[in-house]
Amino acid sequence: MELFFMTLTTGIMVGGIYALVALGWVLIYKCSGVLNLAMGELTLFGAYVTIYFYAMGVPFVVSILFTLVIGIILGILVERIFLDKLIGEPILAVIMVTVGLSFFFKGLIEFIWGTDTRVFTPAIFSLKPFTVGFLKISTVYFWSFVLAIVLFLVFVAFFKYTRWGLSMQATADDETAALSLGVSARFVYAASWAIAFMAAGVGGALLGNINGVNISIGYLGLLVLPAVVLGGLNSVPGAVVGGITIGVLQNFAGTYLDAFFPGGVKEIFPFAFMAVFLLFMPYGFWGWVKIERM
């Protein structure tokens, strides 16, 4: 029973990080209808940028801030250089460009930082787990979860309460009507990519903090795809539920199924689950079905 609850809490906490990355995904999909398949590499990029600054002696929180800033810049650059010219082209073309971007980023990262696994030294959080009741909770997981959720809430508040956030939602709903009010779609796209880069970057930094930074973080970033599909591609609350569900499922698969299917079932299980899930709920839990007044 203890194992069960341990797996559950670990799952929830990793799921929090997935939720943050999923938010980036949802934002881009919501605002421009593009499924960004480069998300995994963005996560990876964030992890490397953070560890790069941290290794130079910059405090962890400040490194995260740097990662956020670099995320904004990169997001806007990518949007301006690659995607701006594709506005009005078929969505599939844009999705293919994001696949290209994912290769590009992966290559760039290997080129700059190599492929060795790096760890945050000195370790940021104490390696000793703390105990709540009978549960042992890893300090790293706990703080990563807290940080991910806080950032998630900040992004959601931005989206919900600022005029920029509202303009983004408006564009997602009806681009032409938003344009008629002077809301620039180009600005909205750039902003959504900037936020996606920030969310993915911090997500990557947190994941790297747990497992060490190497190319495999990119695959963890891609695990967010089932999370997003589960919650509904354009639903922000769906990102949280999807992220945590996938985190939990993944850890349960690792704990209980690994004995039967040794090696890698942890990574595959979320995708298998997604495939089956889509048969029954193609919009996910909260995906938009168009509002139709009778």
Partner 1 sequence: MGAAETILNINNIEVKYHEVILVLKGVSIEVPRGGIVALLGANGAGKSTTLKSISGLLKVEVGEVTDGAIEFEGVMIHKKTAVEIAKMGIIQVIEGRRVFEHLTVEENLKVGAHLRKTGSVKDGLELVYHYFPRLREKRSETAGFVSGGEQQMTVVGRALMTEPKLVLLDEPSMGLAPMLIHEIFNILMRLNKEEKISILLVEQNVKLALNVAPYAYVMETGRIVMDDVSEKLKENEDIKDFYLGLSEKGKTKSFAEVKHYKRRKRWLT
Point out which span in 173-181, 211-219, 242-250, 279-287 binds partner 1 (CB under 8 A): 173-181
Point out which span in 69-77, 125-133, 175-183, 212-220 binds partner 1 (CB under 8 A): 175-183
Nearest to 44, CA basis, from 243, 154, 197, 246: 197
Whichever of 131 and 176 has its CB closer to partner 1, that residue is: 176
Whole-number minimum distance, CB 100 to partner 1, in Å? Answer: 26
Which token pair is 205? 């930094």
Total site size for partner 1, rule CB under 8 A = 22
Strand partners, 213: 118
Based on the shown chain and the rule CB under 8 A, indicate whether residue 166 belongs to the binding site for partner 1. Answer: yes
Which token pair is 259? 């004995």
Whichever of 131 and 180 has its CB closer to partner 1, that residue is: 180
Whichever of 276 and 291 has its CB closer to partner 1, that residue is: 291
CA distance 211 to 217: 9
Based on the shown chain and the rule CB under 8 A, indicate whether residue 288 belongs to the binding site for partner 1. Answer: yes
Nearest to 85, CA basis, from 197, 234, 192, 189: 189
Query: Exposed/middle/buried for 165, CB within 10 Å: 0-12, 13-18, 19+?
Result: middle
Whole-number minimum distance, CB 115 to partner 1, in Å? Answer: 44
Positive or negative CA dihedral for 91, 96, 99, 101? negative
Are the C-beta atoms of 221 and 41 separated by less than 8 Å?
Answer: yes
Based on the shown chain and the rule CB under 8 A, indicate whether residue 177 belongs to the binding site for partner 1. Answer: yes
Based on the shown chain and the rule CB under 8 A, indicate whether residue 289 belongs to the binding site for partner 1. Answer: no
Angle (CA) 98-102-108 rounded to 5° is: 135
Based on the shown chain and the rule CB under 8 A, indicate whether residue 176 belongs to the binding site for partner 1. Answer: yes
Whole-number minimum distance, CB 161 to partner 1, in Å? Answer: 10
Based on the shown chain and the rule CB under 8 A, indicate whether residue 173 belongs to the binding site for partner 1. Answer: yes
Task: Single out the residue of 137, 156, 170, 257 in contact with partner 1 (rule: CB under 8 A).
Answer: 170
Based on the shown chain and the rule CB under 8 A, indicate whether residue 163 belongs to the binding site for partner 1. Answer: yes
Task: Single out the residue of 81, 181, 276, 279 in contact with partner 1 (rule: CB under 8 A).
Answer: 181
Whole-number minimum distance, CB 178 to partner 1, in Å? Answer: 7
One DSSP character per residue, 104-140 reads: HHHHHHHHHH-SS-B--SS-SS-SS-EEETTEEE-HH
Residues binding partner 1 (CB under 8 A)? 163, 166-167, 169-170, 172-184, 288, 290-291, 293
